[in-house]
Homo-oligomer: A and B are copies of this chain.
Amino acid sequence: MLEGTMTSTTEITHLTFDVLVDLLRKIFVRHGVSETTAAILADNCARAERDGSFSHGIFRVPGYISTLKSGWVDGKAQPVIEDDGAALIRVDARNGFTLAASALARPTLLERAREQGVGVLAIRNSHHFSALWPDVEPFADEGLVALSFVNSMAVVVPPGGKKAIFGTNPVAFAAPRAGQPPYVFDQSSSAIANGDVQIAAREGHSLREGAGVDRDGNPTTDPRAVLDGGALLPFGGYKGASIALMVEILAAALTGGNFSREVDWSQHPGAQTPCTGQLFIVIDPARGGNGHFAERVAEICDLTREAGQERLPSDRRFRTRAETARTGIPIKAKDMALLQELVSE
Protein backbone atom coordinates (compact mmCIF):
# COMPACT_ATOMS: atom_id res chain seq x y z
CA MET A 1 0.00 0.00 0.00
CA LEU A 2 1.28 3.44 -0.99
CA GLU A 3 2.62 5.51 1.91
CA GLY A 4 0.09 8.22 2.91
CA THR A 5 -2.87 6.10 1.83
CA MET A 6 -5.44 6.74 4.54
CA THR A 7 -8.12 4.15 3.81
CA SER A 8 -8.64 1.70 1.00
CA THR A 9 -11.45 -0.44 -0.33
CA THR A 10 -11.70 -2.37 -3.58
CA GLU A 11 -13.45 0.67 -5.07
CA ILE A 12 -11.92 3.81 -3.62
CA THR A 13 -8.42 4.67 -2.40
CA HIS A 14 -7.96 7.80 -0.31
CA LEU A 15 -4.68 9.64 -0.81
CA THR A 16 -3.27 12.60 1.07
CA PHE A 17 -2.70 15.68 -1.05
CA ASP A 18 1.09 15.33 -0.81
CA VAL A 19 1.04 11.69 -1.87
CA LEU A 20 -1.14 12.47 -4.88
CA VAL A 21 1.13 15.38 -5.86
CA ASP A 22 4.19 13.16 -5.60
CA LEU A 23 2.64 10.42 -7.70
CA LEU A 24 1.56 12.90 -10.39
CA ARG A 25 4.97 14.59 -10.35
CA LYS A 26 6.70 11.28 -11.00
CA ILE A 27 4.30 10.55 -13.87
CA PHE A 28 5.03 13.91 -15.53
CA VAL A 29 8.80 13.52 -15.10
CA ARG A 30 8.67 10.00 -16.52
CA HIS A 31 6.94 11.39 -19.62
CA GLY A 32 9.41 14.12 -20.43
CA VAL A 33 8.51 17.08 -18.21
CA SER A 34 11.29 18.93 -16.36
CA GLU A 35 11.42 18.50 -12.57
CA THR A 36 10.35 22.11 -11.97
CA THR A 37 7.41 22.02 -14.35
CA ALA A 38 6.36 18.52 -13.28
CA ALA A 39 6.02 19.73 -9.69
CA ILE A 40 3.87 22.67 -10.87
CA LEU A 41 1.59 20.52 -13.06
CA ALA A 42 1.25 17.88 -10.33
CA ASP A 43 0.30 20.45 -7.69
CA ASN A 44 -2.27 22.00 -10.04
CA CYS A 45 -3.83 18.69 -11.06
CA ALA A 46 -4.00 17.45 -7.46
CA ARG A 47 -5.70 20.69 -6.35
CA ALA A 48 -8.44 20.13 -8.93
CA GLU A 49 -8.95 16.50 -7.84
CA ARG A 50 -8.88 17.52 -4.15
CA ASP A 51 -11.58 20.18 -4.70
CA GLY A 52 -13.88 17.95 -6.74
CA SER A 53 -13.07 19.71 -10.06
CA PHE A 54 -12.95 16.27 -11.62
CA SER A 55 -12.94 17.44 -15.24
CA HIS A 56 -9.54 19.04 -14.55
CA GLY A 57 -8.07 16.48 -12.13
CA ILE A 58 -6.77 12.98 -12.81
CA PHE A 59 -9.19 12.86 -15.75
CA ARG A 60 -6.74 15.15 -17.61
CA VAL A 61 -3.59 13.08 -17.04
CA PRO A 62 -3.95 10.82 -20.11
CA GLY A 63 -4.40 13.95 -22.23
CA TYR A 64 -1.18 15.44 -20.85
CA ILE A 65 0.73 12.22 -21.48
CA SER A 66 -0.70 11.73 -24.94
CA THR A 67 0.27 15.30 -25.83
CA LEU A 68 3.80 14.89 -24.48
CA LYS A 69 4.21 11.70 -26.50
CA SER A 70 3.02 13.49 -29.64
CA GLY A 71 5.84 16.03 -29.46
CA TRP A 72 3.32 18.93 -29.66
CA VAL A 73 4.32 20.47 -26.31
CA ASP A 74 7.79 20.92 -24.83
CA GLY A 75 7.64 19.70 -21.24
CA LYS A 76 11.17 20.98 -20.65
CA ALA A 77 10.65 24.47 -22.14
CA GLN A 78 12.25 27.36 -20.24
CA PRO A 79 9.86 30.33 -20.30
CA VAL A 80 11.45 33.75 -20.93
CA ILE A 81 10.26 36.83 -19.04
CA GLU A 82 10.25 40.09 -21.00
CA ASP A 83 10.36 42.77 -18.31
CA ASP A 84 11.17 46.42 -18.92
CA GLY A 85 10.13 47.47 -15.43
CA ALA A 86 6.57 48.47 -16.40
CA ALA A 87 3.40 47.11 -14.79
CA LEU A 88 2.78 45.02 -17.90
CA ILE A 89 5.05 41.98 -18.15
CA ARG A 90 5.22 39.54 -21.03
CA VAL A 91 6.34 35.92 -21.02
CA ASP A 92 7.18 33.73 -23.98
CA ALA A 93 6.36 30.21 -22.77
CA ARG A 94 8.31 28.79 -25.72
CA ASN A 95 5.81 26.08 -26.49
CA GLY A 96 5.76 24.88 -22.89
CA PHE A 97 2.99 24.69 -20.32
CA THR A 98 1.36 28.00 -19.34
CA LEU A 99 1.58 27.05 -15.67
CA ALA A 100 5.38 27.01 -15.88
CA ALA A 101 5.35 30.52 -17.37
CA SER A 102 2.92 31.98 -14.83
CA ALA A 103 4.77 30.39 -11.91
CA LEU A 104 8.05 31.91 -13.10
CA ALA A 105 6.57 35.38 -13.57
CA ARG A 106 4.44 35.39 -10.42
CA PRO A 107 6.94 37.12 -8.11
CA THR A 108 7.45 39.95 -10.62
CA LEU A 109 3.71 40.28 -11.17
CA LEU A 110 3.11 40.46 -7.41
CA GLU A 111 5.86 43.07 -7.03
CA ARG A 112 4.39 45.28 -9.79
CA ALA A 113 0.84 44.95 -8.43
CA ARG A 114 2.13 46.11 -5.03
CA GLU A 115 4.27 48.91 -6.49
CA GLN A 116 1.80 50.23 -9.05
CA GLY A 117 -1.56 49.09 -7.71
CA VAL A 118 -2.00 46.90 -10.80
CA GLY A 119 0.04 44.39 -12.76
CA VAL A 120 -0.69 42.67 -16.05
CA LEU A 121 0.91 39.42 -17.20
CA ALA A 122 0.64 38.47 -20.88
CA ILE A 123 1.74 34.92 -21.69
CA ARG A 124 2.04 33.52 -25.22
CA ASN A 125 3.13 30.32 -26.98
CA SER A 126 1.70 28.48 -24.01
CA HIS A 127 -0.30 25.31 -23.41
CA HIS A 128 -3.15 25.62 -20.88
CA PHE A 129 -4.91 22.35 -20.07
CA SER A 130 -6.08 22.94 -16.51
CA ALA A 131 -8.82 24.70 -14.57
CA LEU A 132 -8.47 28.48 -14.36
CA TRP A 133 -9.45 29.03 -10.72
CA PRO A 134 -6.12 27.71 -9.37
CA ASP A 135 -4.43 30.48 -11.38
CA VAL A 136 -6.35 33.32 -9.66
CA GLU A 137 -7.14 32.01 -6.18
CA PRO A 138 -3.57 32.44 -4.80
CA PHE A 139 -3.67 36.18 -5.58
CA ALA A 140 -6.76 36.55 -3.41
CA ASP A 141 -4.85 34.74 -0.66
CA GLU A 142 -2.37 37.64 -0.89
CA GLY A 143 -5.17 40.20 -0.54
CA LEU A 144 -5.23 41.00 -4.25
CA VAL A 145 -7.97 40.92 -6.88
CA ALA A 146 -7.21 38.82 -9.95
CA LEU A 147 -8.83 38.35 -13.32
CA SER A 148 -7.61 35.86 -15.90
CA PHE A 149 -8.56 34.96 -19.44
CA VAL A 150 -7.39 32.01 -21.53
CA ASN A 151 -8.43 30.85 -24.96
CA SER A 152 -8.20 27.24 -26.11
CA MET A 153 -9.12 25.41 -29.32
CA ALA A 154 -12.10 26.16 -31.56
CA VAL A 155 -15.07 24.22 -30.20
CA VAL A 156 -17.68 27.01 -29.87
CA VAL A 157 -19.81 28.46 -32.67
CA PRO A 158 -21.08 32.05 -32.38
CA PRO A 159 -24.89 32.35 -32.17
CA GLY A 160 -26.37 31.69 -35.58
CA GLY A 161 -23.05 30.31 -36.78
CA LYS A 162 -22.04 26.90 -38.10
CA LYS A 163 -18.25 27.03 -37.79
CA ALA A 164 -16.50 26.64 -34.43
CA ILE A 165 -14.23 29.60 -33.91
CA PHE A 166 -13.97 30.30 -30.17
CA GLY A 167 -12.45 28.19 -27.44
CA THR A 168 -14.49 27.52 -24.33
CA ASN A 169 -12.59 30.65 -23.25
CA PRO A 170 -12.98 30.76 -19.49
CA VAL A 171 -12.83 33.89 -17.38
CA ALA A 172 -11.70 33.51 -13.76
CA PHE A 173 -11.98 36.05 -10.97
CA ALA A 174 -10.82 36.02 -7.35
CA ALA A 175 -11.16 38.50 -4.49
CA PRO A 176 -10.26 38.15 -0.81
CA ARG A 177 -13.21 37.81 1.56
CA ALA A 178 -12.90 38.61 5.27
CA GLY A 179 -13.43 35.63 7.56
CA GLN A 180 -14.16 33.25 4.68
CA PRO A 181 -12.27 31.71 1.77
CA PRO A 182 -11.95 34.09 -1.20
CA TYR A 183 -14.78 34.68 -3.69
CA VAL A 184 -13.62 32.82 -6.78
CA PHE A 185 -15.30 31.93 -10.04
CA ASP A 186 -14.00 30.16 -13.12
CA GLN A 187 -16.55 29.97 -15.87
CA SER A 188 -16.30 29.11 -19.51
CA SER A 189 -17.88 31.36 -22.12
CA SER A 190 -19.58 28.27 -23.52
CA ALA A 191 -22.92 26.92 -22.32
CA ILE A 192 -21.00 23.94 -20.91
CA ALA A 193 -17.29 23.21 -20.33
CA ASN A 194 -15.54 21.00 -22.86
CA GLY A 195 -14.31 18.75 -20.06
CA ASP A 196 -17.91 18.17 -19.02
CA VAL A 197 -18.82 17.20 -22.58
CA GLN A 198 -15.99 14.67 -22.53
CA ILE A 199 -17.19 13.29 -19.19
CA ALA A 200 -20.79 13.12 -20.44
CA ALA A 201 -19.63 11.23 -23.52
CA ARG A 202 -17.57 8.84 -21.41
CA GLU A 203 -20.39 8.22 -18.96
CA GLY A 204 -23.21 8.19 -21.51
CA HIS A 205 -25.15 11.22 -20.23
CA SER A 206 -27.09 13.70 -22.36
CA LEU A 207 -26.30 17.41 -22.43
CA ARG A 208 -28.91 20.02 -21.55
CA GLU A 209 -30.79 21.86 -24.31
CA GLY A 210 -28.88 24.75 -25.87
CA ALA A 211 -25.48 23.30 -25.01
CA GLY A 212 -24.31 22.47 -28.49
CA VAL A 213 -24.79 21.72 -32.17
CA ASP A 214 -23.90 18.71 -34.33
CA ARG A 215 -21.57 18.76 -37.35
CA ASP A 216 -24.34 20.29 -39.48
CA GLY A 217 -25.02 23.14 -37.05
CA ASN A 218 -28.24 21.59 -35.70
CA PRO A 219 -28.96 21.68 -31.95
CA THR A 220 -28.14 18.43 -30.15
CA THR A 221 -28.00 17.02 -26.63
CA ASP A 222 -25.71 14.12 -27.61
CA PRO A 223 -22.18 14.76 -26.30
CA ARG A 224 -20.72 12.43 -28.95
CA ALA A 225 -22.34 14.48 -31.72
CA VAL A 226 -20.78 17.61 -30.23
CA LEU A 227 -17.34 16.01 -30.03
CA ASP A 228 -17.66 14.40 -33.49
CA GLY A 229 -17.43 17.51 -35.68
CA GLY A 230 -20.11 19.45 -33.81
CA ALA A 231 -19.58 22.40 -31.51
CA LEU A 232 -20.66 24.05 -28.28
CA LEU A 233 -22.78 27.20 -28.07
CA PRO A 234 -21.86 30.26 -25.98
CA PHE A 235 -23.71 30.73 -22.68
CA GLY A 236 -26.37 33.43 -22.61
CA GLY A 237 -26.60 33.94 -26.38
CA TYR A 238 -25.01 37.07 -27.84
CA LYS A 239 -23.71 38.28 -24.48
CA GLY A 240 -21.72 35.10 -23.92
CA ALA A 241 -20.44 35.33 -27.49
CA SER A 242 -19.19 38.88 -26.82
CA ILE A 243 -17.27 37.58 -23.84
CA ALA A 244 -15.84 34.68 -25.85
CA LEU A 245 -14.60 37.15 -28.47
CA MET A 246 -13.17 39.44 -25.77
CA VAL A 247 -11.22 36.45 -24.40
CA GLU A 248 -9.73 35.80 -27.86
CA ILE A 249 -8.68 39.47 -27.99
CA LEU A 250 -7.18 39.56 -24.46
CA ALA A 251 -5.63 36.08 -24.30
CA ALA A 252 -4.40 35.85 -27.89
CA ALA A 253 -4.36 39.16 -29.81
CA LEU A 254 -2.95 41.09 -26.85
CA THR A 255 -0.45 38.48 -25.69
CA GLY A 256 0.75 37.50 -29.17
CA GLY A 257 -0.61 33.97 -28.82
CA ASN A 258 -2.68 31.92 -31.25
CA PHE A 259 -6.40 32.37 -31.67
CA SER A 260 -8.33 29.20 -30.81
CA ARG A 261 -9.03 28.82 -34.52
CA GLU A 262 -5.30 28.81 -35.30
CA VAL A 263 -4.40 25.85 -33.07
CA ASP A 264 -3.22 23.24 -35.58
CA TRP A 265 -1.96 20.00 -34.14
CA SER A 266 -2.73 17.96 -37.24
CA GLN A 267 0.96 16.96 -37.49
CA HIS A 268 0.93 15.72 -33.88
CA PRO A 269 -1.62 12.90 -33.47
CA GLY A 270 -2.57 12.54 -29.81
CA ALA A 271 -2.05 16.23 -29.02
CA GLN A 272 -4.76 17.70 -26.78
CA THR A 273 -3.28 20.82 -25.13
CA PRO A 274 -4.15 24.02 -27.02
CA CYS A 275 -1.17 26.32 -27.60
CA THR A 276 -2.56 29.84 -27.21
CA GLY A 277 -2.08 32.61 -24.61
CA GLN A 278 -3.26 33.80 -21.21
CA LEU A 279 -3.75 37.23 -19.65
CA PHE A 280 -3.73 38.09 -15.95
CA ILE A 281 -4.87 41.41 -14.46
CA VAL A 282 -3.97 41.72 -10.76
CA ILE A 283 -5.12 44.74 -8.73
CA ASP A 284 -4.16 45.76 -5.19
CA PRO A 285 -7.47 46.94 -3.70
CA ALA A 286 -5.69 48.64 -0.79
CA ARG A 287 -3.76 50.98 -3.10
CA GLY A 288 -4.66 54.60 -2.53
CA GLY A 289 -6.60 53.81 0.61
CA ASN A 290 -9.30 51.19 0.93
CA GLY A 291 -8.76 49.24 4.13
CA HIS A 292 -12.15 47.53 4.16
CA PHE A 293 -12.10 45.74 0.83
CA ALA A 294 -12.19 42.15 2.12
CA GLU A 295 -14.99 43.04 4.55
CA ARG A 296 -16.98 44.62 1.73
CA VAL A 297 -16.54 41.53 -0.44
CA ALA A 298 -17.82 39.38 2.42
CA GLU A 299 -20.76 41.77 2.81
CA ILE A 300 -21.92 41.57 -0.82
CA CYS A 301 -21.46 37.78 -0.88
CA ASP A 302 -23.56 37.46 2.30
CA LEU A 303 -26.21 39.78 0.82
CA THR A 304 -26.35 37.57 -2.27
CA ARG A 305 -27.00 34.49 -0.16
CA GLU A 306 -29.64 36.34 1.88
CA ALA A 307 -31.35 37.39 -1.36
CA GLY A 308 -31.90 33.72 -2.12
CA GLN A 309 -28.94 32.42 -4.15
CA GLU A 310 -28.24 29.15 -2.41
CA ARG A 311 -24.71 28.59 -3.61
CA LEU A 312 -21.94 30.94 -4.69
CA PRO A 313 -19.50 29.72 -7.35
CA SER A 314 -16.69 28.70 -5.01
CA ASP A 315 -18.81 27.23 -2.19
CA ARG A 316 -18.81 23.62 -3.36
CA ARG A 317 -15.08 23.54 -4.02
CA PHE A 318 -14.19 24.90 -0.60
CA ARG A 319 -16.56 22.44 1.06
CA THR A 320 -15.05 19.52 -0.86
CA ARG A 321 -11.57 20.79 0.01
CA ALA A 322 -12.41 20.78 3.71
CA GLU A 323 -13.88 17.28 3.42
CA THR A 324 -10.91 15.79 1.57
CA ALA A 325 -8.54 17.39 4.08
CA ARG A 326 -10.21 15.13 6.66
CA THR A 327 -10.84 11.99 4.61
CA GLY A 328 -8.04 12.11 2.07
CA ILE A 329 -8.69 12.51 -1.66
CA PRO A 330 -10.87 9.66 -2.94
CA ILE A 331 -9.47 7.98 -6.04
CA LYS A 332 -11.49 5.43 -7.98
CA ALA A 333 -9.85 2.04 -8.47
CA LYS A 334 -9.59 2.46 -12.23
CA ASP A 335 -7.97 5.91 -11.84
CA MET A 336 -5.57 4.50 -9.26
CA ALA A 337 -4.67 1.69 -11.65
CA LEU A 338 -4.13 4.22 -14.43
CA LEU A 339 -1.80 6.34 -12.31
CA GLN A 340 0.16 3.27 -11.17
CA GLU A 341 0.53 2.18 -14.77
CA LEU A 342 1.65 5.60 -15.97
CA VAL A 343 4.24 6.02 -13.23
CA SER A 344 5.89 2.69 -14.06
CA GLU A 345 5.53 2.87 -17.85
Contact = CB atoms under 8 A, between A and B. Distances in A.
A88 B261 contact: no
A255 B297 CA distance: 12
A118 to B, nearest CB: 5
Contact of A245 (B86, B115, B117, B304): B304
Contact of A235 (B239, B287, B310): B239
B300 A253 contact: yes
Interface stretch (A95-103, A153-161, A323-331): A153-161
A125 to B, nearest CB: 13
Interface of A: 82, 84, 86-90, 115-120, 122, 145, 157-165, 173, 175, 183, 185, 187, 217, 235-242, 245-246, 248-250, 252-256, 259, 261, 281, 283-285, 287-290, 293, 296-297, 299-301, 303-304, 306-310, 312-313
Contacts of A300: 245, 248-249, 252-253, 259, 261
A289 B117 CA distance: 22
B122 A120 contact: no
Contacts of A249: 145, 175, 183, 296-297, 300
B88 A290 contact: no
A254 B185 contact: no
B187 A288 contact: no
B254 A165 contact: no
Contact of A236 (B116, B185, B236, B308): B236
Contact of A246 (B173, B285, B299, B306): B173
A330 to B, nearest CB: 26
28 contacts: A82-B288, A86-B115, A87-B87, A88-B116, A88-B288, A116-B118, A157-B308, A158-B304, A158-B307, A161-B309, A162-B308, A164-B307, A165-B304, A165-B307, A173-B242, A175-B253, A235-B237, A235-B239, A245-B300, A245-B312, A248-B300, A249-B300, A252-B300, A253-B285, A253-B297, A254-B285, A254-B290, A259-B303
A248 B161 CA distance: 33
A214 B118 CA distance: 41
Nearest to A242: B185
Contacts of A120: 117-118, 283
A255 B217 CA distance: 44
A308 B118 contact: no
A122 B259 contact: no
A163 B283 contact: no
A246 B246 CA distance: 17
A110 B252 CA distance: 23
Nearest to A301: B245
B313 A238 contact: yes
Nearest to A114: B86
Given A118-B281, A165-B307, A238-B313, A293 B145 contact: no
A119 B164 CA distance: 34
A293 B252 CA distance: 9
A37 to B, nearest CB: 24
A116 B119 CA distance: 9
Nearest to A91: B288
A194 B242 CA distance: 20
A161 B287 CA distance: 34
